[in-house]
Structure 1
Amino acid sequence: MIHTVLGPIEDRELGITLPHEHIMVGFIEDGKLTRDDYKRQEVVNLILPYLLELKNVGCQTFVDCTPEYLGRDPHVLCELAEKSGLHIITNTGFYQAPYLSPFVYEIPESELAKVWIGEYDEGIESTGVKPGFIKIALNRGRLIPVQEKIVRAALTASIETGLPIQAHTNDGIAVLHVLEIMAERHFDPSRFIWVHAQNEKNLSLHEQAFKQGMWIQLDSIMRWTNEDNCKLLQAFLDRGMKEKLLLSQDLGWYSVGKAQGGDIRPYHKLFTEFIPYAVEWGIDRSLLDGLMSCNPAKALRNRS
């Protein structure tokens, strides 16, 4: 079972999935982004055509990775899900400094976990919308104290709710630190998705994470060249990691504070440009389909 903004669905209903994209982001420091900083209807009107285009090329599920204090809005997501016909999944959790509310630094790990568990149990902002995963972020290198607290709270919340964790990640050293914490807490790494894994060039670190069960997400598709992405994907496939790979783009989005949302990048090109290129390059189409459907369903499954 997986929670979408319009309610739970079975794993098999997820279908072709983009596991890491964004509807809206507002990079306003110290958790000061408010609903007054943007117009909900403008966001819906501007983003809806991009989602309809995505739906028309066969995608069925859109995972919105914008966390609280950075532009998560369940009202916007529900309206877009209803109008587009896409399954849309949102999250609980927090990002990283300087985009954290001051209270995050002050409260203990256990209270932080309760915030996210509460959103799962009661719904987000009294909407009844349940998160489908926990979104956090890691700094580069070994974790600084506030990020380590966030990681530990996320593990607690994941154990309590069954939700997987997606972690914005700057390098493999941070992931190794997280694996240490997971071992200490007896946490299953298969509940953790290494976001932006393409940014770490040492593939031996990915292999280490993979062998412990962690998901490896390559979300540079349509940010890097098709050839570069094919070479990177093939390198992972050659190392036998296809069972734990996820593909996405990390694109969109309506930028809060910019006229008409700024430069919104379309979501459909992974399907209309990259996949045809990858097949011609020599990557099997059925394998790509599995990376876009079977793997997301396994990675995002709620284990409560």
Structure 2
Amino acid sequence: MLQTVTHSIDEQAAGRILVHEHIMVGFVEDGKLSAADYDNEEVVSAILPLLLALKASGCSTFVDCAPLYLGRDPYILKQLSVQSGLHIITNTGLYKCPYLPDFAYEASERELSAMWIREARDGIGDSGVYPGFIKIALNDGTTINDTQQKILRAAMRTSLETGLPIQCHTIGGDIALHANEIMRREHFERSRFIWVHAQTGTDLNVHRQLAEAGMWISIDSILPGTYEKHAGMLRQLIEHGAGERILLSQDTGWYTVGEERGGVLNPYHRLFTDFIPYAVEQGLDAQWLERCVTRHPFEAMSRRG
């Protein structure tokens, strides 16, 4: 089952899933983004037409990946879900420096996980909205720093307690391998973990290794101008044996807090209307592509027992 902002849904109801997208993002440092920085109705009026076009393209479920202090607003998400008819999923968790509040550096792993477990059990504030996954991020580079290791371990603790999967912003294969090693040592099931932005990894042997360990591989920057590159990468990932752990998305759209009327807004529907037909023309299997936006993300995002 998947936990949306209004209720739980099964695989049939989930249908086609965009596994990594954003409704609103506010890049305000030190965790200082607040609801006073944007107008709810303006956000809704800007984004609703894009969601309606997405639903018309055959998509049923939208996973919003903005964590707390980076644009998560359960009230906006619930309103957009009701008005668009799309299932929308939100999260608990934290991002990374410089968008973390002071307490994120001071709190222990147990204290952070206790906050996220509380949201999973009691809902987000008084919104009546429950998170459907844990969203975190790791720093760039070759190794994970102490703060982001603490956040990763807190997410692992939360996942084990609540059953929620982890989506983790992870740039490059070295950082993904370090995360994998931490989870391996803790005997944490990698099937609970989604390597977000896996297209940034250049050595596809890393993707093969992590897919064999059970990790989900999210290719989520499939935007106009990148279709040939991504179709080629997907073909190579299949050849490397990672095909049954692949998720597809775009990481696009979003209302940007602080820009006039949210800045430039990109449509959400092109993965379905443009890329998948193109990929089929390039020889990729249509049924496999469909699994990458239905069965695979449903399994990856489902709550564990």
Structure 1 length-normalised TM = 0.98
Q: Which residue of 1 aligns with 2:184?
A: 183
Does structure 2 retain, via aligned residues, the 8 Å contact 1:2–1:302?
Answer: yes
Q: Deviations over 1:13-55 (max 9, x none)?
A: 2110100000000000000001110000000000000000000
Counterpart Cα distance in 2 of 1:243 and 1:200: 18
Q: Within 2, Cα distance between the matches of 1:156 and 1:128?
A: 23
SS at match of 1:100: coil
Q: 1:9 offset after TM fit, Å? A: 1.2
**Deviations 1:183-218 (CA, angstroms, capped at 9, x unpaired):** 222110000000000001011111111110000000
Where structure 2 has 5 or more consecutive residues not aligned to the other structure, the ranges are none
Tell me, yes or no, if the aligned pair for 1:223 and 1:249 is still in contact at 8 Å: no
The separation in 2 between residues aligned to 1:52 and 1:254, in whole angstroms, is 16
1:81-230 to structure 2, matched below 5 A, reads 81-140=81-140, 141-222=142-223, 224-230=225-231
Q: Within 2, Cα distance between the matches of 1:222 and 1:173? A: 25
Query: What pairs up with 1:1-304 in 2 under 5 angstroms?
Result: 1-140=1-140, 141-222=142-223, 224-304=225-305
- The offset of 1:240, in angstroms, is 2.0
8 A contact 2:207–2:242 mirrored in 1: no
Q: Distance in 2 between matches of 1:2 and 1:274?
A: 26
Equivalent residues of 2:23, 2:47 under 8 A apart: yes
State the secondary structure of the residue aligned to 1:253: strand
Q: Structure 2 counterpart of 1:149, which letter?
A: K
Q: Note if contact 2:168-2:195 (Cα within 8 Å) is conserved in structure 1.
A: yes
Among all aligned residue pairs of Structure 1 and Structure 2, give the percentage whose two residues are the same amino acid. Answer: 53
Q: Residue type of the partner of 2:47?
A: I
- The SS at the match of 1:124 is coil
Segments ≥4 residues shifted beyond 2 Å: none
CA distance in 1, matches of 2:116, 2:224: 31
Q: Which is further off, 27-36 or 10-19? A: 10-19
Q: Deviations over 1:152-181 (max 9, x none)?
A: 000000000000000001111111111121
Give the aligned CA root-mean-square deviation in angstroms: 0.9
User: What is the number of residues matched between the two proteins?
Assistant: 304
Indicate the larger mover: 131-140 or 179-188: 179-188
Post-superposition shift, 1:238? 1.3
Letter in 2 for 1:84: S
CA–CA distance in 2 between the matches of 1:108 and 1:291? 37
* C-alpha displacement of 1:268: 0.6
Structure 1 Cα separation of the partners of residues 172 and 268 of structure 2:
25
Give deviations 1:214-268, integer Å, cap 9, x for gaps: 0000001115521111001111111221210000000011000000100111101
| TM-score using structure 2 length | 0.98
The one-letter code matched in structure 2 to 1:227 is E
